Chains A and B, each alone.
Chain A
Amino acid sequence: MRLAVIGNSHVGALKKGWDRSVAAEFPGISICWFASPKTRMTEIHPEAGALVPRTPELERDIAFTSDGLTRIEADSFDAFLVVGLNRRLERQIGNFCTPFSQAARLAALEDYWEGSNHLKLVEKLRRITNKPIHSAHAPLKSGTDGTGGTAEYETYLTASNARVFAPIEVALVPQPADTRVGATRTAPKFAKGSERLETGRALDGLAHSEDEPFHMNGTYGAIWMRGFLQTAA
């Protein structure tokens, strides 16, 4: 299977996990990475069966992370994984741990995803291909103060798939249970030693600060990729 992984800085953890240990476990899978920090990937647009960067910065990031490609050709891959480009999902899931009405929770859920760059990128991708698309939300913020539990997290994922992703034939992939604390946090050990996304810039590969709670390390990435590929492959 030829897999294209497209996203922002959160791609970094998945790639590190893949490179360090997971790739050897899945010899039949090749991955091409397309990543650019923050929301820069929003400057990519569908055009004649491909996603094409509209800014030189994004084109440069895509070329760097993909080893020279300057556009994402749908025909070159069998499946796609869109990573990150959503913010503070833990608060969204927290809605399901708070006594809001179910209708209000679901309205907020739809609003959240509809307003996210993640879904916009997924929709652009869907416009150029009917092949499988998987979605990976940004990791939950790290911490030990997670609220709710597996049931609330799964309820949230199920509702997101039913109301947002399934209608466009996309699957939102859960963050592995053994990385979560409650429904709303990632265990702090996975945030230790996380590194910046490598895009050929000065800060490449440098560790995030100790208290940076949003980016995860290669161990997290390995667990995530292994779990995902066991299902998707």
Chain B
Amino acid sequence: MHPYKAQPDRAFWKNGVENRPTRAVPDLWTPKFPMPENSRVASYGSCFAQHIGRALEERGLTWLRCESPPHGMRADSQARFGYGQFSSRTGNIYTASMLENWCKWALEGAPMPEEIWETETGHFDPLRPNLEPGGFATQDEVLAARKTTVAAFRKSILGADMFIFTLGLTERWVNRETGMEYQICPGTLAGSFDPDLHQFDNMDYAAVDGALSRAIAIMRRANPDLQILLTVSPVPLTATGDDKHVLVASTYSKSVLRAVAGAAAARDGIDYFPSYELITAPTMRGSLYLPNQRQVADNGVRFVMQHFFEAQGLSHLKRKAPQALSTLTCEEELLDAFGGAA
């Protein structure tokens, strides 16, 4: 007798994966805590996380929208202006350290960076340069919008029962002098790149784990009952700032994020939902990606969310008025345009 004798089918590749139909992966996730139908959920993270709120709303669940768009704005305009993607208008939060920053600004009153990018077309917020097409009209608008979002982010954390965060990247760009972290490399979407000022940083396990742990601690101080659900984006890097091949860099990044999420999920009140595994598993043969083998196809998103709701015992909730899934805002993809990719 040895320990494997007592393991269930799902513990064995042959019975858990190989002998199953391609997309049948039962028992993949057993939630640590339930999500009752009246749960209030806040979601943030990388661009893949934009699917979460939509999926919850389509099933009539309460996804917190704490930053409302102007009245009368159509859904497509809302997307262009960064409304309705996350529970507040943070834009994509790709890294754990950026999440920590938002938590500090919103929940601890830490001062926000003063840097604003001014171009011919407008003023851009380096924390979310893709937020306003053409940029803000004035610096004051940038600052007012930040203030609104900080208040909305705070409201979303205080008002949520569950916080869902999708970890996206380990790579980031920071200002050498101020320590400010940018959402995307300066000079790509807006601003200008200064090699003496802008420093590439690829966070290691300790850095990601530290930032995520601190962010969660800040949120828990503000909302002690907040349950945390972590996911890892299955979307590979568009481009790496490192000297490695992008495939190697992607694997490093996702491995670190996955390991951090797994370790975090061992703690009380934190769980990990394996959306990453569902999309990237060898048995899927890349079929849940678009032809570029990077972006997740709509059926992949539906597959992931179906697993989520089934595991939560919410599969009886039917989708209402499904929205187009492919209109995500992914600043990172803009790197293609600046990196010479065909």
| A-to-B contact residues, CB < 8 Å | 88, 91-92, 94-95, 98-105, 107-109, 111-112, 115
Q: State in angstroms the CA–CA spacing of A102 and B144 once bound together.
A: 12
A101-B137, A101-B141, A104-B81 given; A111·B73 CB < 8 A: yes
**Inter-chain contact A103/B132, CB cutoff 8 Å:** yes
Q: Given that A101-B145, A104-B81, A104-B132 are contacting pairs, would A95 and B70 also be in contact in the complex, using a CB cutoff of 8 Å?
A: yes
The 8 A CB mask of B111-141 against A (1 = contact, 0 = none) is: 0000000000000000000001110110001
- Give the Cβ gap from A160 to chain B, nearest Cβ, in Å: 11
Q: Does B291 contact A (CB under 8 A)?
A: no
User: In the bound complex, what is the Cα–Cα distance between A115 and B76 (angstroms)?
Assistant: 13
18 sample A-B contacts, Cβ–Cβ < 8 Å, listed by A number? A91-B71, A92-B71, A95-B70, A95-B71, A95-B72, A98-B70, A99-B148, A101-B132, A103-B132, A104-B69, A104-B70, A107-B81, A108-B70, A108-B71, A108-B73, A111-B73, A112-B72, A112-B73
Residues of the A chain whose Cβ atoms lie less than 8 Å from the Cβ of B320: none
CA distance A88 to B71 in the complex (A): 9
Q: Is B59 in the interface zone, CB < 8 Å from A?
A: no
Of all chain A residues, the one with the shortest Cβ separation from B143 is A99
Q: How far is the CA of A104 from the CA of B70 in the complex (A)?
A: 7
- The docked-state distance in angstroms from the alpha carbon of A88 to that of B136 is 27
Known: A91-B72, A94-B71, A101-B136. A108 touches B77 (CB 8 A): yes
Which 10 pairs, one residue from A and one from B, show the smallest C-beta to C-beta distance? A112-B72, A108-B70, A91-B71, A108-B73, A95-B70, A111-B74, A99-B144, A108-B72, A107-B77, A101-B141
Give bound CA distance, A20 to B134, whole Å.
52
- A102 and B148 in contact (CB under 8 A), knowing A91-B71, A91-B72? no
- Least CB separation from B73: chain A residue: A108
B80: Cβ under 8 A from any A Cβ: yes
Q: How far is it, in angstroms, between the C-alpha of A99 and the C-alpha of B136 when the chains are bound?
A: 12
A104→B135 CA distance, assembly (Å): 11
Complex: chain B residue closest to A102, CB-CB:
B137
CA distance A99 to B145 in the complex (A): 7
- Set of chain B residues within 8 Å of A112, measured between Cβ atoms: 71-73
Expressed in whole angstroms, the minimum distance between the Cβ of A181 and any Cβ of chain B is 18
**Contact partners of A109 in chain B: CB under 8 A:** 72
- Name which of B70, B74, B81, B147 has the most chain A CB atoms within 10 A of its CB: B70
Chain B residues within 8 Å of A100, by CB: 70
Contact with A along B130-166 (1 / 0, CB 8 A): 0011101100010011011000000000000000000
Given contacts A99-B144, A99-B148, contact A104 B73 (CB under 8 A): yes
Q: Is the CB of B80 within 8 A of A107?
A: yes
Residue of B nearest to A114 (CB): B74
- Min Cβ gap B70→A in Å is 4
User: Which of B133, B144, B147, B148 is close to A103, meaning CB atoms less than 8 Å apart?
Assistant: B133
Q: In the complex, what distance in Å separates the CA atom of A104 from the CA atom of B73?
A: 8
- Residues in B with CB closer than 8 Å to A104 are 69-70, 73, 81, 132
**Complex alpha-carbon distance, A186 and B77, angstroms:** 30
Tell me how far the C-beta of B121 lies from the nearest C-beta in chain A, rounded to whole angstroms. Answer: 11
Query: Which residue of chain B has its CB nearest to the CB of A105?
Result: B70
Most chain B CB within a 10 A radius of its CB, from A98, A104, A109 = A104
Is A92 touching B72 in the complex (CB atoms < 8 A)?
yes
Tell me the bound Cα distance from A100 to B132 in angstroms: 11
Give the Cβ gap from B331 to chain A, nearest Cβ, in Å: 18
- CB-based contact A115/B74 at 8 Å: yes
CA distance A102 to B70 in the complex (A): 10
Q: Which of A98, A102, A111 contacts B72 (CB 8 A)?
A: A111
Closest chain-A Cβ to B82's Cβ sits at a distance in Å of 9
Known A-B contacts A108-B77, A111-B77; the reply to A103 vs B136 at CB < 8 A is yes
In the docked arrangement, what's the CA distance between A105 and B70, Å?
Answer: 6
- Closest chain-B Cβ to A49's Cβ sits at a distance in Å of 33
Known contacts A101-B137, A103-B132, A103-B134; A108 and B69 CB within 8 A of each other: yes
